[in-house]
């Protein structure tokens, strides 16, 4: 069923030219969020792993929007999700915005496919009409909770006689379509969790496939779309691991070949608690507003988990693609330390500064930001010139090259100046700075270098003591603190 990438290998043997053709399945993966909210860190990680898997195998990464839960749709969320994927550097190869051969890429525009699949399942008796009212289902739920059981449908309508079904259909009684779960379950091999088996029929009632409003549930829609979009591998969150048994039964009932499955462990806070969407600090838009670089965020969420041949800070997207190894993904949850986001950001900002290509992009971004923020307030337009912006970036680099030592020096000098009286003469300042050099166990040249860069952004000029005397105590402290900010 899957498309193929054709590879032809030709060689000569005994004077005759022979050709041998080999084929391999085309890798097609999908990220299928629901636009009932905006993209958050857990969703970004799922999208990233799908993108890495596809790019590593020269496959296709598809964005499919599962918008069948009409009551919970958030206006603007669909566009925002794709916007954030593009900002993160992992735009889909196929989507509603970008197009493709297997659209539409929004489930609400594919209702006919789900209706056809449901009709096929009804025809083969793998599905049946259910006429139970919401009131009856609610009573079943309450009764189960009172008796300490997990709520489940009792499969009542599965046993209706054909004439009873036809009578209710003729009367227009509201109905849904349910899937007839088989007892027992065949094991399947998950690419992360290994051989897995869940007897869903023993613990769950027959699931709804098609709701009364004609919209499918996740179970039917995902199976139908994965088939028609020729998805070869499904990489999704581990919360769907148990449901996979139902999906495999659906594939078999429809006579289709299922994709391979890989379920990704949860992404949790460092204390093991769930990431809270209500706090609002896990949405990608928030990180973008806080000037977190996209490559910093990708590095952070992959560093927190597994799936790579090694683990180190500073990996960019091309390195993540090269080092990704799905067999290295572990089953235990990934712990995310959001307090480290600024540390990752500093590393990647430094990489941008050091790389000639990304430095040019960064300089232009800074120029545009200065124009947008200050605009007509700029009196000296030399600050917008490339050579000036590059000098500022290099200053930052030089300061960060000695960041640990610089922080100690800055703190000590701020304390010295704040004590009062030390900035009264160059002679006294020089004596105090020499004593400070000894106390900090550093060299006098290192101390002077840090102070000169922090106070003037220059490597040459008047003596440090003269600058401090001219600037005064308050301005010296302000500049030292500002120069060493993240």
User: Per-residue pLDDT for the chain (486 aa), expressed as one digit of tens each?
Assistant: 333 333 333 333 333 333 344 456 799 999 999 999 999 999 999 999 999 999 999 999 999 999 988 889 999 999 999 999 999 999 999 999 999 999 999 999 999 999 999 999 999 999 999 999 999 999 999 999 999 988 999 999 999 999 999 999 999 999 999 999 999 888 999 999 999 999 999 889 999 999 999 999 999 999 999 999 999 999 999 999 999 999 999 999 999 999 999 999 999 988 888 887 665 678 999 999 988 999 999 999 999 878 998 888 999 999 999 999 999 999 999 899 888 998 899 889 888 888 888 888 877 777 777 777 767 767 666 666 777 777 666 665 555 554 556 677 878 888 887 766 566 788 888 888 888 888 888 888 878 888 887 787 676 778 888 888 888 888 888 888 776 565
Question: How far apart are the C-alpha atoms of 3 and 26, rounded to whole Å?
Answer: 6
Measured CA distances, 70 to 108, 118, 215, 270 (Å): 9, 20, 9, 34
Question: How far apart are the C-alpha atoms of 52 and 318, rounded to whole Å?
Answer: 9
Provide the domain count of the chain: 2
DSSP assignment, residue 37? S
Question: How far apart are the C-alpha atoms of 249 and 254, rounded to whole Å?
Answer: 9
- My answer on whether omega of the bond before 104 falls inside 30° of 0, hence cis, is yes
* Contact status, residue 243 vs residue 219, Cβ threshold 8 Å: yes
What is the distance, to the nearest Å, from the Cα of residue 330 to the centroid of all Cα atoms in its chain?
18
Does the residue 385 lie in any domain?
Answer: no
Specify the DSSP element, H or E, that contains 456.
Answer: helix 444-456
Residue where a domain terminates, one of 264, 284, 304: 264
Residue where a domain terminates, one of 264, 282, 315: 264
Does the residue 358 lie in any domain?
Answer: no
Taking each helix axis from N to C end, the angle separating 473-483 and 403-418, rounded to the nearest 10 degrees, works out to 160
Does the residue 86 lie in any domain?
Answer: no
Contacts of 272 (CB under 8 A, 6+ apart): 333, 335
* Contact status, residue 43 vs residue 277, Cβ threshold 8 Å: no
Helix, coil or strand: residue 272 = coil
Does the residue 281 lie in any domain?
Answer: no
Q: Give start and end residues of each alpha helix (H) in 229-355.
A: 244-254, 284-289, 294-303, 317-323, 341-354
Sign of torsion over alpha carbons 472, 478, 481, 483? negative
Does the residue 317 lie in any domain?
Answer: no
Residue where a domain terminates, one of 264, 282, 302: 264
CATH number of the domain residue 141 falls in = 3.40.50.620
Give the per-residue pLDDT at 398: 53
Strands 260-264 and 233-237: parallel
Does the residue 361 lie in any domain?
Answer: no
* Contact status, residue 206 vs residue 180, Cβ threshold 8 Å: yes
Does the residue 462 lie in any domain?
Answer: yes
CATH number of the domain residue 406 falls in = 1.10.10.350
Question: How far apart are the C-alpha atoms of 80 and 319, rounded to whole Å?
Answer: 27
* Contact status, residue 316 vs residue 348, Cβ threshold 8 Å: yes
Question: How far apart are the C-alpha atoms of 125 and 127, rounded to whole Å?
Answer: 5
* Contact status, residue 62 vs residue 94, Cβ threshold 8 Å: yes
DSSP assignment, residue 338? G
Domain range for 138: 110-264
Residue with tokens 């039917």: 220
Does the residue 197 lie in any domain?
Answer: yes
Question: How far apart are the C-alpha atoms of 352 and 346, rounded to whole Å?
Answer: 10
């Amino acid at each position: 069923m899957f498309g193929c990438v054709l590879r032809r290998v030709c060689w000569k043997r005994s004077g005759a030219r022979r050709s041998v053709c080999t084929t391999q399945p085309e890798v097609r993966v999908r990220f299928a969020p629901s636009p009932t909210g905006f993209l958050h860190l857990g969703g970004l990680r799922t999208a990233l792993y799908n993108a890495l898997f596809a790019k590593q195998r020269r496959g296709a990464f598809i964005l499919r929007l599962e918008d069948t839960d009409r009551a919970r749709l958030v206006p603007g969320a669909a566009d925002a999700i794709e916007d954030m994927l593009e900002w993160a550097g992992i735009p889909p190869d196929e989507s509603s915005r970008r197009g493709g051969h297997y659209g539409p890429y929004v489930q609400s525009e594919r209702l006919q496919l789900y209706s056809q699949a449901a009709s096929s399942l009804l025809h083969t008796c793998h599905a049946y009409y259910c006429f139970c009212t919401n009131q009856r289902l609610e009573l079943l739920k309450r009764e189960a909770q009172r008796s300490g059981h997990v709520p489940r449908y009792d499969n009542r309508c599965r046993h209706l006689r054909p004439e009873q079904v036809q009578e209710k259909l003729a009367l227009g009684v509201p109905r849904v379509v349910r899937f007839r779960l088989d007892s027992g379950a065949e094991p399947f091999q998950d690419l992360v969790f290994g051989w897995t088996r869940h007897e869903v029929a023993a613990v769950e009632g027959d699931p709804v496939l098609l709701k009364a409003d004609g919209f499918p549930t996740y179970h039917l829609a995902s199976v139908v779309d994965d088939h028609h979009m020729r998805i070869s591998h499904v990489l999704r969150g581990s919360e769907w691991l148990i449901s996979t048994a139902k999906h495999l039964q659906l594939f078999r009932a429809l006579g289709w070949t299922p994709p391979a499955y890989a379920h990704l462990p949860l992404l949790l806070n460092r204390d093991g608690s769930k990431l809270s969407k209500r706090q609002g600090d896990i949405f990608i838009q928030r990180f973008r507003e806080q000037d977190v670089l996209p490559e910093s965020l990708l590095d952070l969420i992959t560093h927190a988990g597994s799936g790579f041949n090694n683990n180190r800070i500073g990996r960019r997207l091309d390195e993540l693609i090269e080092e990704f190894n799905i067999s290295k993904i572990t089953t235990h949850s990934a712990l995310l330390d959001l307090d480290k986001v600024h540390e990752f950001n500093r590393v990647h900002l430094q990489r941008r500064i050091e790389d000639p290509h990304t430095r040019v992009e960064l300089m232009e971004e800074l120029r545009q930001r200065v124009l947008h923020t200050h605009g007509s307030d700029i009196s000296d337009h030399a600050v917008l010139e490339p050579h000036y912006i590059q000098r500022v970036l290099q200053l930052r680099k030089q300061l960060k090259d000695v960041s640990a030592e610089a922080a100690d020096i800055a703190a000590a000098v701020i304390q010295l100046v704040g004590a009062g009286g030390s900035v009264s003469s160059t002679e006294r300042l020089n004596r105090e700075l020499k004593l400070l050099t000894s106390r900090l166990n550093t060299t006098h040249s290192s101390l002077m270098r840090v102070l000169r860069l922090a106070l003037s952004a220059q490597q040459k000029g008047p003596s440090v003591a003269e600058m401090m005397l001219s600037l005064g105590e308050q301005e010296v402290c302000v500049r030292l603190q500002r120069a060493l900010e993240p």
